[in-house]
Amino acid sequence: MYKVQSHQIAQHINIKQVRANFKGTLVYGDSDELFYKLSDTKYLYIFQFGIVGYFNVAKSSITQIEAVLKPYGKGSMPEHLSEDINVVLKEKTLEVGFNSVTLPEIDEEMIRLVMLHTSQSVALDRYSEITEQLLEEASIHTKSLETRGRLRISSTKLKKFIGRTLNIKNAIYENLYIFDSPEVVWQDEQLAKLDNELKRTFDLKNRYRNIQDRITIIKENLELFKDIWNHKESSTLEWIIIILIFVEIIDLFVTKVF
């Protein structure tokens, strides 16, 4: 039995620098990911969104690899998100269970798919936590509207909140391809079956939609907050104009009298 493990080691990994400096047999690589063969039964998968996947790699070797990759990472993680799944070999069998995957043989493309979806699952965990925190923060301000009738957030903080939400939304679109599959999947029936079963087992599509739903709710809240702030600033500007006109009238009156 073999094990696939995926670890979040940074918020972002510079794939270009890793490709130029990492020693290993590169099986597949592009601007977003690198898939290495370390030996006949060991593989390494590096993603630009900060996650590294391992197949049949010992804990001591994982520690060494992550130490090598650390200089190419950007943004530390407060906690070490990870996920693993066992891989069992059984001739003429292709099955995906809750905690294990049964493959007919050690096939590079099959192993790559298992590592890909395990890593996508870790990424979903991370974005789920981030969007939940954003939603909780937005809820604080909606409760303030309910209880106090006013929005207790400054214009600068609101703009930062909007920027953070947009950055998260962009990162999800750039890094996750839950509804897409590697090109090789469309050319092989077994790979297509494995791809679909892994997505179903990890519940990737539903988890992705839940994250998207949270972002939609947050976006609606921010639109409301922005409208309230625009109205507030508009009202303030109107009062300033009224006061200036009043001052000018008083000044004119005083000038004519004296």
β-bridge mates for residue 7, sequence order: 52, 82
CA 36 – CA 140 distance, rounded (Å): 46
Tens of pLDDT, residues 24-74: 899 998 888 999 999 989 999 999 989 999 999 999 999 999 999 999 999
Structural domain contains residue 191:
yes
What is the number of alpha carbons within 13 Å of residue 98 lying toward its C-beta? Answer: 0
Q: Is 39 helix (H, G, I), strand (E, B) or coil?
A: strand
Structure tokens, 227: 């409208």
Structural domain contains residue 109:
yes
How far apart are the two ends of the chain, measured CA to CA in Å? 100
Q: Can you tell me the mean pLDDT for 237-254?
A: 66
Domain count, the chain: 1
> Among the residues of the chain, which ranges form H helices?
15-21, 59-69, 108-148, 155-175, 189-201, 204-257
Contact 222, 138 (CB under 8 A): yes
Place of tokens 């593989």: 43
Structural domain contains residue 255:
no
Residues 6+ apart with CB under 8 A from 143: none
Structural domain contains residue 88:
yes
Tens of pLDDT, residues 186-195: 888 888 899 8
Structure tokens, 118: 């395990």
Place of tokens 């109107």: 238
Tens of pLDDT, residues 69-98: 999 999 877 667 899 999 999 998 899 988
Structural domain contains residue 258:
no
CA 94 – CA 192 distance, rounded (Å): 11
Structural domain contains residue 151:
yes
With CA atoms as reference, report the closest residue to 78 among 10, 163, 14, 133.
Answer: 10
Question: What residue numbers bound the domain in which 238 lies?
Answer: 2-249
Structural domain contains residue 50:
yes
Is pTM beyond 0.95? Reply is: no
- Given this model, what pLDDT does residue 176 score? 75
CA 155 – CA 236 distance, rounded (Å): 14
The angle at the Cα of 75, spanning 73 to 79, to the nearest 5 degrees, equals 105
- Given this model, what pLDDT does residue 172 score? 82
Tell me the pLDDT band of 238, cut-offs 50, 70 and 90: low
